[in-house]
């Protein structure tokens, strides 16, 4: 077992063989969705999250190896490497400990201690540090020379060296680090000149705030840091300084002589000038990293729920981007999402009126045989939806759905939108995006930078590289869990399919344009640059409806077609007949088909696919309507029961749209009649809920809600 496997096994508590197999599959170029879906025998049935953690630890350890090499090279250049030091570095697999080992050799700017060393005061520092010299003044006299004009100057220089040595002492750093981890307090104060500004109002809770750092939630930490970055708050992280200094002095001071007194002074200087700022910065970065990870996790889970929202399916849809002054942008789409018509309707004064708009909408619906209507949830959404519902659509089975339009403006101005609709303006593209989101949220939202979709907390304050990586993984996971229609998928959607990417996705679309629709998965091998490895990784996630081989429209991987064909032969029927005959499926003894490579996990997956080939894991779409008597925040009063839609989930609660143009907050303590540690375990994005109004803050336009009914 190699060292990486050993470390990952200890961190994740997984079997040695499972971790080794996953690492081997990753080295072979397999993607996480492919490993989780089609290599269960080798992974012991690990899910994508577990495989992702193994991959993450593998990346982290590889980065640590690179860092070790850099450190060794630097120390060797200084000709200070020893066998003992080399072994310590080789055996170290903790990044913090590694940096502590490296600190004495790390190139620095020209410090006071460095100046003192250049003046030849290191021997004096050693004498003082040993604390055996009875006449330190006499010992220091020997070091008075050019550049060191007095005994006090020599002693001060020696103390600077001692202070830096104490700062670089691994034990001292770890003790102070532990003190911060267990006893640090974070405080936040408002900048006096900013206290009464409008910008500062949202940070009012942190004007005079203090709590133990270990209890400070990620969302509070990020909120305070944002306030600090905007110049409104000042943040400080501190421990009991007297206790910390005393502990440091006990470590280094021995006895009560003059040398001991000088070491005591040097230790206090080391703490105040070097150690405390260094460890405070380190701990602040550590808690910021934890807060980032928490926020990124919340964003990723919200994004997953949004992408996997229930699709309406292939219906003829009218997309409406509501507006008052500029009117409502209206588009009509066919069942494949192609743009058929666009117009502007004016339901509101001064340019139009309600009755004329209703007639206009009705004419469009009739002319294009519309089956459903998607209305963006922005300005005038509620009013526009009411107008549409008042018309004759309900009795004809034409329902109105309110759709999140977050990111629609980003898409409409993007290169992708320009390529799709080169002759249309941004308003038309935005309305098309709204309509398509109703038909298939996943296929449409993958075209938008996830950060622009607006379902996270403090996403602009976290590590952007880590955020992008996490969200890309989430999008890919969602795309592959649903599967992609090879003949209708956009280039953007194909990009996220396992084993593909921008180049192969573009090649597939170009091949489709030149040769017509794909009739089989095998045909993928004719796509330029799509080799055997890419084919293995992507084939099982691509669907071909009405293909000659029915398995091409399922999640059964081509490598398993032979197994299904054997099952059909044993049942005396064709594959197509086997898929349609549930009775024959139930009579199959899977143990007959177990081999060294294919076990029961894969065979069970195959049988699930035969029961319902190409099944969509997403739920069915549900209708929703707001309370017709509540339209603005002025209509609210305490105790009112209202229907709502969950629009965002954070670590501190869930935001709910109740139809008054301002989402209300259900605090985590109000989500259920029990203790809730994670809101995501109680509610999910776009869930239809019943809430009660607790309070309305008109000044800050904040609505407090509860689900404890």
Instruction: State the DSSP code for 273.
Output: I
CATH class of this structure's domain 500-611: mainly alpha
Report the 10 Å Cβ neighbour count for 275: 25
Where do runs of H (alpha helix) occur along 461-521? 464-482, 491-495, 502-515
CA dihedral 334, 337, 343, 344 (to 10 degrees): 130
Three-state DSSP class for 333? strand
Over its C-alpha atoms, the chain yields an Rg (Å, rounded) of 33
Checking if the pLDDT of 288 tops 90, the result is yes
26 by Cβ neighbours in 10 Å (0-12 / 13-18 / 19+) ranks as: middle
Extents of the domains making up the chain: 3-105, 317-439, 500-611, 633-706
Euclidean distance between CA atoms 258 and 263, whole angstroms: 9
CATH class of this structure's domain 3-105: mainly alpha
Report the 10 Å Cβ neighbour count for 260: 17
CA dihedral 470, 476, 478, 481 (to 10 degrees): -130
pLDDT tens for each residue of 337-374 = 999 999 999 999 888 888 888 888 989 998 999 999 99
Q: Which residue has the tokens 């009509």?
A: 332
The pLDDT of 371-382, averaged and rounded, is 90
Q: What percentage of the chain exceeds 70 in pLDDT?
A: 99
* Tokens encoding 225: 């840091």
Euclidean distance between CA atoms 119 and 154, whole angstroms: 9
- Identify the band that residue 581 occupies on the pLDDT scale cut at 50, 70 and 90: confident
Strands 328-333 and 317-321: what pairing? antiparallel
Report the 10 Å Cβ neighbour count for 611: 12
Q: Provide the pLDDT for residue 352.
A: 82
- Identify the band that residue 1 occupies on the pLDDT scale cut at 50, 70 and 90: low
CATH superfamily for 633-706 is Nucleic acid-binding proteins (2.40.50.140)
| Maximal CA-CA distance, the chain | 105
Euclidean distance between CA atoms 649 and 522, whole angstroms: 43
pLDDT tens for each residue of 24-57 = 999 999 999 999 999 999 999 999 999 999 999 9
Sign of the Cα torsion 165, 170, 175, 176 reads positive
**Which segment of 392-406, 487-501, 641-655 scores lowest on mean pLDDT?**
392-406
Taking Cα atoms as reference points, which of 336, 308, 540 lies closest to residue 442? 308
The pLDDT of 639-646, averaged and rounded, is 93
- Identify the band that residue 394 occupies on the pLDDT scale cut at 50, 70 and 90: low
Strand ranges inside 289-346, DSSP E: 317-321, 328-333, 339-345
Query: What DSSP element (H or E) covers 420?
Result: helix 415-420
Total-model pTM:
0.86
Q: Provide the pLDDT for residue 256.
A: 86
Q: Which residues contact 313 (CB under 8 A, 6 or more apart)?
A: 439, 440
Taking Cα atoms as reference points, which of 187, 178, 175 lies closest to residue 270? 175
CB 472 within 8 A of CB 502: no
Q: Which residue has the tokens 């190139």?
A: 107
Q: Provide the pLDDT for residue 435.
A: 95
Euclidean distance between CA atoms 213 and 204, whole angstroms: 19
Three-state DSSP class for 679? helix
Q: 317-439 is classed in which CATH architecture?
A: 2-Layer Sandwich (3.30)
Taking Cα atoms as reference points, which of 120, 63, 73, 70 lies closest to residue 95? 63
């Amino acid at each position: 077992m190699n060292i990486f496997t050993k470390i990952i096994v200890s961190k994740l508590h997984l079997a040695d063989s499972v971790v080794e197999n996953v690492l081997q599959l990753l080295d072979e170029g397999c993607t996480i969705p492919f490993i989780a879906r089609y290599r269960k025998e080798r992974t012991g049935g690990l899910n994508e999250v577990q495989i992702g953690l193994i991959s993450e630890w593998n990346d982290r350890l590889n980065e640590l190896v690179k860092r070790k090499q850099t450190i060794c090279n630097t120390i060797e250049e200084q000709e200070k490497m020893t066998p003992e030091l080399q072994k310590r570095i080789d055996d170290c697999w903790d990044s913090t400990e590694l940096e502590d080992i490296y600190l004495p050799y790390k190139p620095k700017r020209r410090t006071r201690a460095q100046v003192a060393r250049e003046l030849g005061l290191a021997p004096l520092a050693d004498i003082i540090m040993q604390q055996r010299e009875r006449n330190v003044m006499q010992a220091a006299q020997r070091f008075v020379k050019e550049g060191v004009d007095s005994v006090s100057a020599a002693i001060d220089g020696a103390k600077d060296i001692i202070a830096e040595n104490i700062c670089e002492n691994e034990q001292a750093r770890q003790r102070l680090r532990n003190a911060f981890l267990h006893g640090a307090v974070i405080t936040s104060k408002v900048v006096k000149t900013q206290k009464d500004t409008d910008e500062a109002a949202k940070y009012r809770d942190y004007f005079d705030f203090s709590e133990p750092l270990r209890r400070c939630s990620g969302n509070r930490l990020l909120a305070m840091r944002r306030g600090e970055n905007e110049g409104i708050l000042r943040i400080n992280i501190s421990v009991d300084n007297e206790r910390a200094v005393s502990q440091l002095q006990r470590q280094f001071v021995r006895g009560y002589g003059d040398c001991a007194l000088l070491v005591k002074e040097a230790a206090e200087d080391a703490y105040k000038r070097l150690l405390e700022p260094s460890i405070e910065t380190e701990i602040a970065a550590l808690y910021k990293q934890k807060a980032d990870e928490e926020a990124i996790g919340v964003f990723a889970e919200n994004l997953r729920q949004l992408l996997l929202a229930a699709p309406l399916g292939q219906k003829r849809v009218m997309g409406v981007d509501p507006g008052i002054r500029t009117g409502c942008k209206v588009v009509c789409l066919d069942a494949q999402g192609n743009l058929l018509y666009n117009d502007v309707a004016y339901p509101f004064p001064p340019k139009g009126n309600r009755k004329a708009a209703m007639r206009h909408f009705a004419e469009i619906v009739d002319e294009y045989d519309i089956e459903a209507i998607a209305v963006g949830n922005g300005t005038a959404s509620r009013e526009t939806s009411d107008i549409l519902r008042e018309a004759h659509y309900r009795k004809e089975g034409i329902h109105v759905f309110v759709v999140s339009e977050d990111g629609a403006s980003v898409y409409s101005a993007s290169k992708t939108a320009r390529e799709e609709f080169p002759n249309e303006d941004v308003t038309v593209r935005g309305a098309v995006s709204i309509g398509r989101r109703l038909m298939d949220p996943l296929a449409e939202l993958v075209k938008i930078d996830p950060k622009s979709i607006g379902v996270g907390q403090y996403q602009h304050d976290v590590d952007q590289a880590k955020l992008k990586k996490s969200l890309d993984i989430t999008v890919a996971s969602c795309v592959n869990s649903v599967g992609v229609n090879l003949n209708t998928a956009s280039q953007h959607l194909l990009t996220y399919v396992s084993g593909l990417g921008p180049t192969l996705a573009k090649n597939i679309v170009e091949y489709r344009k030149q040769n017509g629709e794909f009739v089989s998965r095998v045909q993928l091998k004719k796509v330029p640059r799509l080799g055997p490895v890419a084919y293995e990784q992507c084939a099982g996630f691509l669907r071909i409806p009405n293909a000659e081989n029915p398995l091409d429209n399922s999640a059964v991987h081509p490598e398993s077609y032979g197994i299904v064909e054997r099952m059909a032969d044993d049942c005396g029927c064709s594959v197509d007949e086997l898929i349609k005959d549930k009775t024959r499926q139930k009579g199959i003894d899977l143990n007959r088909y177990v081999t060294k490579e294919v076990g029961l996990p894969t065979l069970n997956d195959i049988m699930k696919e035969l029961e319902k080939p190409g099944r969509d894991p997403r739920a069915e779409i549900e209708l929703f309507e707001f309370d017709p008597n509540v339209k603005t925040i002025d209509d609210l009063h305490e105790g009112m029961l209202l229907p709502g839609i969950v629009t965002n989930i954070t670590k501190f609660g869930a935001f709910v749209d109740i139809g008054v143009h301002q989402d209300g907050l259900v605090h985590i303590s109000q989500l259920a009649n029990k203790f809730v540690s994670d809101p995501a375990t109680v509610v999910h994005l776009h869930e239809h809920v019943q809430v009660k109004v607790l309070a309305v803050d008109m000044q800050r336009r904040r609505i407090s809600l509860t689900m404890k009914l």
